[in-house]
Amino acid sequence: MSSIASFYLMESSNFHEYAKLAGLQQTENLPNLADDDKQVAVYAGGFNAAEIERDPRFKNARNAFDFLRSHSSQPFQFQWSGYVLYDLLELLKDDKQIDLISKGFAKTPSDTPSYLLDASVKELYLTSIDPVHFSEKQLETDYQNRSERLKEKYFKEMASKLPPHELKKFMDLQNDYVEEPFPERGIALMDGITILHGCLNLVNDIDVVIMQIG
């Protein structure tokens, strides 16, 4: 399944109007997923074209997206998978203490958030996200090291939950899995750094950038 990362530059006042149209809330204010089952299930199941036209939920989503497109520009295009950018954002947060995803907005806990880059985020991280501090090789190494740490942590969690015979089946499945080679990963991660720094450069007291990955 593919994923696309998009960047929208718009005035802060228009962002708040877009958030209102899209029904977005800051993720920290959303209920826990278990407490929101009805909302999470809204888009479950199939819809045909006629149902989509009649369903007000889709109309609201179209109206919000039309507003976003007509009140913003897209200053950067990330040519790689959105998953690569998401991995980079998580790596920056966990390993470099550069948290560009602190201001997340979503409609329900199951939605992938939109992330707001504003003047306060710029003030905190513009210097530290400067591409001069990064390299393709080091980013690739940092990604691999982080992946190994997460894998080890996951295995330990599963070992504490599964009985021995189930754990063996689980480990056999994991050993059979081979991650698809991605020799351009370092280049892609560096492209992400350059774009994120460029986004922060555009942000000021009036203009903000919305990052969407989906």
pLDDT 10s digits, 155-183 = 788 778 778 777 777 666 766 555 678 89
Number of domains in the chain: 1
pLDDT-derived band at 195, boundaries 50, 70, 90: very high
The predicted-structure confidence for 125-141, as pLDDT tens digits, reads as follows 999 999 999 999 999 99
Higher pLDDT: 39 or 18? It is 18
Q: What is the pLDDT of residue 58?
A: 74
Average pLDDT of every residue of the chain = 85
pLDDT-derived band at 188, boundaries 50, 70, 90: very high
Residue 75 · residue 198 · CB < 8 Å: yes
**At residue 33, does pLDDT exceed 50?**
no
Higher pLDDT: 148 or 197? It is 197
User: What pTM was computed for the model?
Assistant: 0.81
pLDDT-derived band at 48, boundaries 50, 70, 90: very low
Q: Dihedral of CA 16/18/21/24: which sign?
A: negative
Dig out the tokens for 11 from the structure. Answer: 């005035």
Q: What is the pLDDT of residue 57?
A: 65
The predicted-structure confidence for 50-104, as pLDDT tens digits, reads as follows 554 566 667 778 888 899 999 999 999 999 999 999 999 999 999 999 999 999 9
Q: What is the pLDDT of residue 45?
A: 40
Strand order in the sheet with 25-26: 5-11, 207-213, 114-117, 104-106, 25-26
Residue numbers of the domain that contains 201: 5-213
Residue 79 · residue 191 · CB < 8 Å: yes
